[in-house]
Amino acid sequence: MRSFDRHAERIGATGRAIRLTAVGVLAAVACGPADSSRDWSGRYGTRVEEATTDCFDAEAPPSITGFILDLTRHAADSVTVTLNPIVRLEGRFEGDHLTARMKVVEPIGLPDSIIARTMPSDSLDTITYVLEADFAGEGFQGDYVIRSPDLRALFEGEGGRCDYRYGLAGELIPAPAPPGGSQ
């Protein structure tokens, strides 16, 4: 009888541990996960690691070093990304992955003979900028793509859109110490 009591006691303790674990898991699920992404706001010293293009008869764009990517996070994981104040993208984080976009629509005048060769998907009056980046540690790696009309290709009777693609990497630039010492 004593061995049965000890066995029941062990099962009871195990059962209580399982119930407590299950309650903890359910509480974590009900409350949602802790923020899986930290606030990545800051200024990042950024460099181009690779640059390619599929534009007609174009060479790969030159690598650029030493520019600043400025990231500001807003409510609900939305962000504003400024690349050397020329380009300002809007986007959002999903975890530590950022997707930000900008679109410029500017009608361009082309001869009817060129326009006749285009397709609606060519969007000759639209340039899009897209940044996809993964953040970890104190930096990020990602792709920055500029999709634009390929006027050279159109004049040659080829397709109408092309990409300039940049592989980027950046490191967080530490914020300067406040005047009068650290606080």
What is the model's pLDDT at position 173? 95
Q: Which residue has the tokens 């990409």?
A: 163
What is the model's pLDDT at position 133? 98
Q: What is the DSSP letter of 19?
A: H
Distance of alpha carbon 74 from alpha carbon 71, whole angstroms: 10
Distance of alpha carbon 149 from alpha carbon 146, whole angstroms: 10
Supply the DSSP string of 92-118, one letter for each residue. Answer: EEETTEEEEEEEEE------HHHHTT-
What is the model's pLDDT at position 17? 37
What is the model's pLDDT at position 37? 64
Task: State in words which class domain 42-172 has.
Answer: mainly beta
What is the model's pLDDT at position 125? 77
Distance of CA 158 to the CA centre of its chain: 31
What is the model's pLDDT at position 164? 92
Q: Of 115, 132, 127, 125, give the one whose Cα is nearest residue 162.
A: 127
Instruction: List the chain domain ranges.
Output: 1-34, 42-172
What is the model's pLDDT at position 181? 60
CA angle 183, 40, 173 (to 5 degrees): 60
Looking only at Cα atoms, what is the longest distance across the chain?
99
Distance of alpha carbon 121 from alpha carbon 54, whole angstroms: 16
| Token pair recorded at residue 99 | 């997707």
pLDDT along the chain (183 residues), means of 10: 46 40 32 59 94 88 82 90 88 95 85 73 80 97 92 75 92 85 56
CA dist 164 to 55, 93, 116, 125, 175, Å? Answer: 8, 23, 25, 17, 32
